[in-house]
Structure 1
Amino acid sequence: MSHSRVYASWDASLRISSLWEQATIAGTRVKLLEGHMLYQRGSRSDHFYRVHSGFVAATVNRADGASLLLEIFGPGAIFGEGPTFAGTPRTATITALTDAELVGYTRDCLAASAESNHRLALSLIELLGAKNHVLVNKLARFASGTPFDRLVGLLGRIAATDRSPGQDAVVVSLTHEQIASMSGLSRVTVTRTLKAMAAEGLLSTHPSHVRILDRAAIIALLNRD
């Protein structure tokens, strides 16, 4: 996937996720059931996390009390490293969209491992730089991308990393309103665009989720030049 098409911080983690999977650093396994919260915005913790399986959502509450979906993280994503190392409060609330398994790391266990494997420490610096690049790219796409392209970017990313073997259909557990928040579109525009994609046989759309029917076609659209 080219960087020109990457506009989520999940993608920024994928280049280094294999390094963390293979590392001998002592991490703590955390299992979350769908709908359960990992941590709340404003809280403090000395842990950051890598998603082993499943999907979690990062949200904040707007001034009107409504929940704004900032990002979803799927397998391979690393998140929470900024506040952990800066010693600042969490900037978002993390909740499981599906049953999920995470691996939690602390500054201390990383420091102990980094003495023998400095690549782990360097990978986090690389990740922070990539996330900054991704943020700028995401803003640019919000300003110029068509609704179709934005939804392909979001749904294609999920389809490309879903690890369900032998299954063509992929269930995306997001409402139209949540997808709108993530893609910088209105809910009406999201609904209209999803209906058009459904008419092409790419997916089926439902009030609480979207079912990707043609995973290969969605991924091909994501990776097109």
Structure 2
Amino acid sequence: MTNNEFVLLNSKLITVFRQYGVREIYNPRQIIFTKNEEAQNLYYIQSGMIRVYIPYPDGTERTLCYFPRNTIIGEDAFNFPQRRIVCTDTLNKSVLYRCSAKELLQKAIHNPDLTLGILTFFMRKITLLHSWIFYAQFQRNEEKIACLLYTISSTSNSPIKLTHGQIAEVTGMSRVTATRILDSLAKKNIIAMQYKSLEILDKQTLREIFENKEFY
């Protein structure tokens, strides 16, 4: 499937959310759903940035990843039992469309393109989640950040709207270390840093930083 075909299928899936879903506005740091609660709905992110994390009994949290706009979260609503396996909240003001898994499946029964769109979208998301886990094998922090940025840039050509602190949080390093590595990548003209975001300038060189590792 070409990227243009994927975009077309994705647009049909998004249309269902906008037509049949409930539009909701979330304030910064507002919880969308929490681990172990019943999972009935999926959410299309129209705008904003969503954090996925796991809470620990001692009150600390482990941030797993971030999802930007034009992404769908909450696919554990298709699981059995229908229970959330992670928590999510918003980093900034966000607009989401909430649609039940049951409603989505009912629309897909008589629409082969929508069915294919759902399957294709979530297969791509599985690949994305694999890559979030992928950089756990890296010993060098530069490889972790390069893999993270490469993965995110593979899903969109838009600037990556993550702060240095958020990148450090996901990759498990200090903010100082993350900033030092990002500064180095910027000096090599691999990335361009902006306020609370960055742009990939040389994707191939970014990939070569971790080229000796098998990529999902």
TM-score (norm 1): 0.69
Counterparts of 1:54-69 in structure 2, within 5 Å, are 54-69=48-63
Any runs of at least 4 consecutive aligned residues in structure 1 with deviations exceeding 6 A, and if so which?
none
Q: Determine whether 1:121 maps to 2:105.
A: no
The alpha-carbon distance between structure 1 residues 170 and 159, as it changes in their structure 2 partners (threshold 3 A), is farther
The alpha-carbon distance between structure 1 residues 102 and 222, as it changes in their structure 2 partners (threshold 3 A), is farther
The letter of the residue matching 1:183 is T
The letter of the residue matching 1:19 is K
The letter of the residue matching 1:75 is R
Q: Determine whether 1:217 maps to 2:169.
A: no
2:180 match: 192
Q: Quick one: higher RCO (CA 8 Å, sep 6+), 1 or 2?
A: 1
Identity %: 19
Q: CA offsets, 1:94-153, max 9 Å, x none?
A: 111121111111123223312321333343333444444444444333314853343244
Given that 1:60 and 1:93 are in contact with CA atoms closer than 8 Å, whether structure 2 keeps it comes out as: yes
Counterpart among 41, 45, 51 of residue 39 in structure 2: 45
Q: Determine whether 1:21 maps to 2:14.
A: yes
**Deviation at residue 58 of structure 1 after TM alignment:** 0.8
Determine the C-alpha separation between the residues in 1 that align with 2:147 and 2:47. Answer: 20
The letter of the residue matching 1:80 is G
**Deviation at residue 162 of structure 1 after TM alignment:** 7.7
Unaligned runs of 5+ in 1: 1-12, 164-168
The alignment covers a number of residue pairs equal to: 202
Given that 1:41 and 1:89 are in contact with CA atoms closer than 8 Å, whether structure 2 keeps it comes out as: yes
1:182 match: 170
Q: Determine whether 1:142 maps to 2:136.
A: yes
**Deviation at residue 211 of structure 1 after TM alignment:** 4.0
